[in-house]
Structure formats: C-alpha cells, structure tokens
Amino acid sequence: MTDLFGKCPLRPPDPDIIELCFFGPGIGESIVLHLPGMGWAIIDSCSSTVKGKIINLPLAYLTSLYKGVSPPPIAFLLLTHPHEDHYRHMDLIINDYPGKIERICYPDGKSIRELKEYLARARGGANEDQLPGLMAVFDAMRGAWDRGVDRRCVSEFCDIFSKNNVTLSTGEKISLKVSAIAPSAENIEAYFEILAKAWPQEGKKFIRLQERDINLISIALIINIGKMSIILGGDVETSNTKLIGWKCLLSKNECPDLSANIVKVAHHGSINAFCDASWGQHIKNKETVAIITPFDRSGLPNEATLEELKKICSKIGITSCGKKTIKKSKIYSKLVDNVTDLFPVRSWKSLSQDAIGFIRLRYDTHGEPIEQEAYGDSFWL
C-alpha cells in the first residue's frame, strides 16, 4: 500500500513532533493529527478511488506508516458533522484499524439522534442514498462503545483532550489542549428550528434539508500545544443576518485567542465561511498557513475567498485539483509544474491516479516548520 503515497517518506514523526496530514480528494476531507503527549487522532473520514480500488485515506496512511509493526492507539476519532463528505467510510476506521481507538467524538448528541430519525422517516423522499452509509457509521460507533471505547458529545468550549506538563525528550515541559469552538448553542437551536419545519408528515410535501442546514452543527477545533496554535474550521459558516457561526463565537466572552500557525479553511473555502473578523484573529502575531480541501460539486474553493487569503496568509495549500476543469487564472498562476500539466481536469478517470494527493505539515512545538510538503496532485498556490 505504500506506493499509494507516491514520493512521501512513510516514517512516523519523532515523538516530540507535531504532524498534520490533510486529505481532500475533491469530495470529502480528513485530517490525521499527531501531537506530543497525545499521539494520533483522526478528524473526519474520506475515501478515494485509486487504480479502481476504494481507499479510506486516513486508515491507509496510518497503517502504511506502521507497516509490519503494531500501530499505536488513536487518542480520538472525531466526526465534525454528518455530511457524507466528512463521514464516508468512517466505519472502516472504527472496525478495521488494527490498533486501539480510545475515544470517539461527535456533535451534540441530540442533534445526531434527531437527524437519524429524520432520515429514517424521509425514506424515498431525499438523501436516501446517504442513509446506509451514515447508518453504517452510527452502527460502528455503537459497536465501539459496547466494547468500552469512550464517547464524547461535543459542543462549543468542550475539551476533547487536555494534558499539562507534557515532558519532551529534551526535558522541556509543555501543555496540550484540544477544544471545540463550535457548534454554539445558538447554532444548535437554529438547526433544530429548521429540522422541526422539515420533519416529514403524512400527506404534506417533503421538505429537504439543505447542506448548509447540517453545517450549523459542525464542530470546529482549536489546538494549543507549546507555542503552536491550530484552527480546524470544519464546515462552520457565518451569516450577515443571524448571530451564528464565526460571528457568534467572536461575540462571546469565552472566545479564546484564535491566532493560529495553521488554519484548515472552513467549508472548503466557500464565501459563506469566510469571516473577516475571525481571519483578523487567525493572522494576529502569526505567519499563518491556510489549507483548503476542495469540494468539486459546489465549485469550491471560491475564487473570492482565495483572493482574500492570498492577501493575509504566508502559504495556501490545496489538497487536490478536483474533478472540474481548473482554469489557468491568476489564482492558479503558481501551480507546480506537474499539476499544471494536468489541465484540463474534468474527472478523476481522466487522471488515472497512481498516488493519493495530500499535504503534510510537521512542526516543532515552538512553531518552527520541519516539513511543508504537497504530495500527489495537491499543491501550493
């Protein structure tokens, strides 16, 4: 399986090193995370077809890193929200990872229960094709909990993992904290209002939930370790008319310092998720690297978002060329040569992929980059 990752050196990071691997093949995203004092974590799940075979990307990566030896535990596996491009084949991670999974995290429990009931009642109306895959994930979670895996429902300001006095190999002591900054109580309330109106009723026209509705309950994370700060924005959006998402977070006294060395751009770089005020916080006192996972079906990332990010970020990475034709505009004028040669890209079939595209970042706990590499068809703007 190692040839799936092309030229990427498949060696685990040193115990003191922070690693983030961003997968996003044009639909779906997953982040594999290594933190000193915690070990590995996986946020969301996605798959890609390589040489005609469906590959769960985070599972394949971790098992390749530890080929021939017992892999370490996964400290936590987290589903940011129940959209197919975030949960696809997460059941394979739960059921097939050869090591131990210590904790499974998911959005506010009531939100998930109500959504499952909605989908069950909506059979034949909409989203029916997504129901088996989502139910397979929920069934796998339930099986894991029955086996004693810890579970945690997540909403704003909930701690996912926290550890003080992590001792590095140098003897230096640092602290580590992984916390949720979304979804807010206001977002969850707005979601329930929409779900109540859409609830299937006999004799009445079916109301389809929109993708943006489910984004209301998306988890976003802030990670602080040593002098490093990381924001993983999930699919959190904002609104000009309602105090939800990023604007809601910034309005609260409990809002932490949001400056960050690394930001996973929210909602695949949509204009709905770009908030001037939050980005003003992200880039404060930091050289910020932004990572975008494209969503081809909606034409994301949005070019206006890319233009704004180019003004304020030190680097912008995109995890895939995507399925649609990518125009050689000023936005993409700095593509690496091997990606430029792929134009026009209309489908994955036309690419005949041999390797998975992803971006891998490795840093020390003082915020100094050790590796900033784009592999496969991922690239830096």
SS (H, E, C) 26-86: CCCCEEEEEECCCEEEEECECEEEECCEEEEHHHHHHHHHCCCCCCCCEEEEECCCCCHHH
In three state form, how does the secondary structure of 285-351 look? CCCCEEEECCEHHHCECCHHHHHHHHHHCCEEEECCCCCCCCCCCHHHCCCCHHHHCCCCCCCHHHH
Residue 3: band (very low, low, confident or very high) from pLDDT cuts 50, 70, 90: confident
Q: Distance (Å, rounded) from C-alpha 46 to C-alpha 364?
A: 27
Structure tokens, 155: 């909403």
Average pLDDT, the chain: 87
- If one compares 349 and 68, the residue with the highest pLDDT of the two is 68
Supply the pLDDT for residue 331.
38
Residue 114, SS3 per DSSP: helix
- CA-to-CA distance for 122 and 118, rounded, in angstroms? 6
CA angle 176, 94, 128 (to 5 degrees): 115
Closest CA to 77 of 65, 89, 68: 89
pLDDT mean over 286-315: 94
State residue 124's pLDDT score: 54
Q: Please identify which residue in the block is written with the tokens 């099986």.
A: 143
H or E element: which one contains 193? Answer: helix 185-198
The model's confidence at residue 240, banded by pLDDT at 50, 70 and 90, is confident
Task: For residue 53, give both structure tokens.
Answer: 């075979």
**Of 52, 51, 54, 45, the residue nearest 23 (C-alpha):** 45
- Cα 81 off chain centre by: 10
Crossing angle of helices 131-146 and 109-121, rounded to 10°: 140
Q: What pLDDT score was predicted for residue 119?
A: 73
Check residue 243 and give its pLDDT. 82
* pLDDT given for residue 352 in this prediction: 37
- Residue 122: the pLDDT is 67
Confidence of residue 340 (pLDDT cuts 50, 70, 90): very low
pLDDT in tens, 63-86: 999 998 999 999 999 999 999 999
More confident: 105 or 348: 105
Per-residue model confidence (pLDDT) at position 324: 45
Do residues 193 and 144 lie in contact, with contact meaning Cβ atoms separated by under 8 Å?
A: no
Q: How far apart are the first and last CA of the chain?
A: 29
Residue with the bigger pLDDT between 368 and 350: it is 368
Question: CA 64 → CA 56, 133, 360, distances in Å?
Answer: 12, 25, 15
Q: Please tell me the least confidently modeled range out of 53-67, 205-219, 334-348.
A: 334-348
pLDDT band per the 50, 70, 90 thresholds, residue 217: very high
Indicate whether 346 pLDDT > 70. no
* Residue 113 to residues 67, 82, 109, 138, 195, Cα–Cα distance (Å): 37, 11, 6, 10, 12
- Residue-range domains of the chain with CATH: 2-380 (3.60.15.10)
Distance CA 339, CA 2 (A): 22
pLDDT at 263 over 90: yes
Lowest mean pLDDT among 53-62, 76-85, 290-299, 326-335: 326-335
Q: What are phi and psi of 160, to 5 degrees?
A: -90, -45
